[in-house]
Amino acid sequence: MADLNQDVKKVLNAAWTKDSVFTEEEKQRVRNRIGTSAVKGRKKDYVPKLLSAAAAVGFIVLIGGIAGIQTDVFNKQNGQEAAIADKEFYPGLADGAMLNNWKLNNFEKDSYGHLSAAFTGKAKVTGTLDFREETVYFLPDHDSLKLLPLMDGQNIKITFNETDQEMLKKVFGITEPIKEESVSLIIGGYRAAEGIVHQAEILEVVMPKEPQLEAVPFQMAVNNTKELVLLEPLNHVYKEFSLRGTDEILRGLSPADVFQLFLFAEETEDYYTQYALFNHDPDIEKPFPALNDYLKAKSESPSIPEEQTLLHRVKNADLEVVIIDESSAYISITEEEGFGFGLSKNNDGIWKVNWMPIQ
């Protein structure tokens, strides 16, 4: 209480005007009343009816100063600074309030006067991880923003402590700046700042589930002598491609169709067409850069028993085509576990045979 009194005195001294607020006539009236008064009673307070402008301002400042001192003392006694009534940072939100299933713990102010709000809760959010040189940022997508303790219309990015950032780099194998999209995280310990960069604690990295691969069975057509044949319209496509060799002729074919063309070329020893069925994109490393290299390798390859050849195996087995994703697939022989003949789309979106296709 002594401290409060001292503070009040300081405000009084600073706020009250040093100039006289009475005129000479008023002073004389006061002296006459004091001197002629016949009644000895309790002292009456005298408040002048006419205040100078300076005195009025001093009085207003005095009231405000006392109120400010009392409020400050009250807040210090409660161990926290008062939230500014008209603040724009989470207006109308008090400790313990809920926002999008997050509980506000408290407001804090750093040494620079910047406010932050600490929340308790948990949410699964999806977005883009932006791996920078020094910092990893998470940019929530539109739907995930609605799950965070944010006021309407806020668009933010989240960063994490050093341990969580290093963990993310290891999980995604990141060694250089890159963006990783469609990442899901479960986060808690949310701290909102006045700026656009907020902080959170990573509780779990939600790894994407392995895609459910669907195997579609198909068969190679053979004639009475067990030779491969191509049915229409695939036979017409083969003839056109063998004559012109342009990939556009193959557009619209499935991986199973291209596989049949490749095996038919093997059956007929049409290695020119077979070579053209490989993926010749410029960014693909080719074990046989030129047609002559391929023809030479085929002519010099050692002979093996017929039952071990790929032709024999596919003629006498059930086949399946497995689409891995929109640009890669493989053909499997159901009786041979682990066998796969790989195909992929080239840069023009056309299915072609992988180099070294048998894995």
For the chain, the average pLDDT equals: 81
- From residue 229, how far is each of 238, 261, 343 by CA, in Å? 11, 10, 21
Average pLDDT over residues 9-28: 50
Q: Which tokens hold the place of 83?
A: 């939230």
Question: Residues with Cβ < 8 Å from 125, sequence gap 6 or more?
Answer: 138, 140, 141, 144, 147, 148, 184, 185, 186, 187
Average pLDDT over residues 104-125: 94
59 has pLDDT over 80: no
Cα end-to-end distance, the chain, whole Å = 86
Q: Which residues of 126-154 are buried (b: 16+ CB within 10 A; e: fewer)?
A: bbebbbeeeebbbbbeeebbebbbbeeee
Q: Which residues of 14-28 are buried (b: 16+ CB within 10 A; e: fewer)?
A: ebeeeeeeeeeeeee
Q: Residue 341 burial by CB count (10 A; 0-12/13-18/19+): exposed, middle or buried?
A: buried
- From residue 89, how far is each of 93, 122, 193, 195, 258 by CA, in Å? 9, 22, 9, 10, 62
258 against 211, higher pLDDT? 258
Domain spans of the chain?
A: 2-30+44-77, 98-206, 215-358
Question: 174-199 pLDDT, tens per residue?
Answer: 888 999 999 999 999 999 999 999 99
Per-residue model confidence (pLDDT) at position 154? 85
Average pLDDT over residues 46-56: 41
